[in-house]
Amino acid sequence: MSGDRNSVISPPPSSRPGRVLIGITGGIAAYKVCEIVSTLAKSGVEVRSILTSGAREFIAPLTISTLSRHPAYTDADFWSPTRGRPLHIELGEWADLFAIAPLTANTLAKLATGMADNLLTNTVLASRCPLLLAPAMNTDMWEQPTTQRNWREILGDPRVWGLEPGSGILACDRVGSGRMAEPAQLLSWIDSLLYTGGRRDLQGKRVLISAGGTREHLDPVRFIGNPATGKMGIALAQAAVSRGAEVTLVCAAIAPHLLTTLGGVRAIAVTTAAQMQQVMLDEFETADLTIMSAAVADVKPASYSPEKLPKRSLPEAIALEPVPDIVAELGKRKQPHQTLVGFAAQTGDIVTPALDKLRRKQLDAIVANPIDKSGAGFGSDTNWAVAIDSQERQQKIEPCSKLELAHRLFDFLSLNTVGIHT
């Protein structure tokens, strides 16, 4: 791609809060939607909602209308003779994203066959925006061949995104699959689909991401590590899967609750740099795009005690030895069709050391981000960065959520590197 070295690439316009239509059907998981509606409304997203007659048996329209700051629609509104323009047409054209949660087996069957016998199903047919579905039902109902056939059928529609139910204790006391995706996961998908508009620009691509901070143990309870939480890597995985990619996340020392936001991502847990190196090398050969966002230790104790060392036995000085340089090894093995991206977490001048790393490690791009600024770096929910491609052109990504930064990085890569969209 043409361009002057060290030139600044203009970023795309900032994303703005969008318009989300929430459909609620008759399942006990309807209570979880309250958190979703409230969170969206507080963030500035415009929220409208439709409750089926079954949903009203579980949650009151007044609850949803109060949380969304807007009336909640029911079939009584659909059949009202006092309206001018048809309500399902207005709502279908208004929405940037349509999410149905929980999705019952009954409504799933209607969607799969194109039925339209209430406000919700009519609005689905009258809309063209991305449709996000989150089923919830008893295990036997979910596993029925007819339900699975309907699920496969609706997922064949290119506008449809589906979050398969998880496993756990259900309201019927059954332990098995059928739990609706948790609110945090649904919110992440909503944010992503609002950003992309439902683009599947990574469809058919295999994306490999490392996340978290490795730990090098002196004994079973003491280790050399760093403050990395894996939030940036998780955001990258969320963004990639929402764009249609097949994603593998190699994660080190990530709190389990953070992983609950992921859906459709294959996660492999590791602890040490050596373990991460082995998994990354094993997975790298089939990856189209690899992003090394993990904070990997630079050194490890030269010796390891399999039993906890008494305090009196701790050495006054710990002998250290280097650990594998994973991204450098990946750079040596990279094939022409592959794209390799590194991260450089820095204090002070973040660009100069990132450029050095970009050159030395044969990267296609690097993301320089500060760890000494408020609202950025380890553990924060927000971040900012400077993305640099192999021709050393730079784009500053202003402070934003880590999920938005992940999407902006993928936009940057699609415009300025080779291999991921060809």
Residue 325 is labelled as binding a ligand? yes
Residue 42 is labelled as binding a ligand? no
Closest CA to 189 of 162, 221, 226: 162
Look at the chain and count its residues: 422
Q: Are 270 and 188 in contact (CB under 8 A)?
A: no
Closest CA to 416 of 363, 369, 376: 363
Torsional sign, CA 304, 305, 310, 315: negative
Q: Give the model's pLDDT for residue 13.
A: 46
Q: How far apart are the first and last CA of the chain?
A: 13
Q: Is 128 exposed, middle or buried (0-12, 13-18, 19+ CB in 10 A)?
A: exposed
Q: Where are the domains of the chain?
A: 19-196, 206-416
Using CA atoms, how far apart are residues 177 and 382, in angstroms rounded to an integer?
33
Q: Give the model's pLDDT for residue 4.
A: 43
CATH architecture type of domain 19-196:
3-Layer(aba) Sandwich (3.40)
Residue 190 is labelled as binding a ligand? no
Using CA atoms, how far apart are residues 284 and 289, in angstroms rounded to an integer?
9
Q: Determine if the pTM surpasses 0.85.
A: yes
Q: Are 224 and 216 in contact (CB under 8 A)?
A: yes
Supply the residues annotated as catalytic. Answer: 172
Q: Give the model's pLDDT for residue 421.
A: 45
- 30-59 confidence digits (pLDDT tens): 999 999 999 999 999 999 999 999 999 999
Residue 396 is labelled as binding a ligand? no
Q: How far is CA 362 from CA 273, 290, 329, 330, 357, in A?
A: 20, 13, 10, 9, 8
Strand pairing of 131-135 and 97-103?
parallel
State the chain's mean pLDDT as an integer. 91
Residue 361 is labelled as binding a ligand? yes
Using CA atoms, how far apart are residues 325 and 347, in angstroms rounded to an integer?
21
Which helix (H) or strand (E) segment holds residue 77: the answer is helix 75-78
Using CA atoms, how far apart are residues 48 and 63, in angstroms rounded to an integer?
13
Using CA atoms, how far apart are residues 329 and 347, in angstroms rounded to an integer?
25
- 186-213 confidence digits (pLDDT tens): 999 999 999 999 999 999 999 999 999 9
Residues of the chain with pLDDT under 70: 1-16, 82-83, 416-422
CATH no., domain 206-416: 3.40.50.10300
Q: Give the model's pLDDT for residue 2.
A: 33
The two tokens of residue 289 are 């795009």
Asked if the domains at 19-196 and 206-416 fall in one CATH topology, the answer is yes
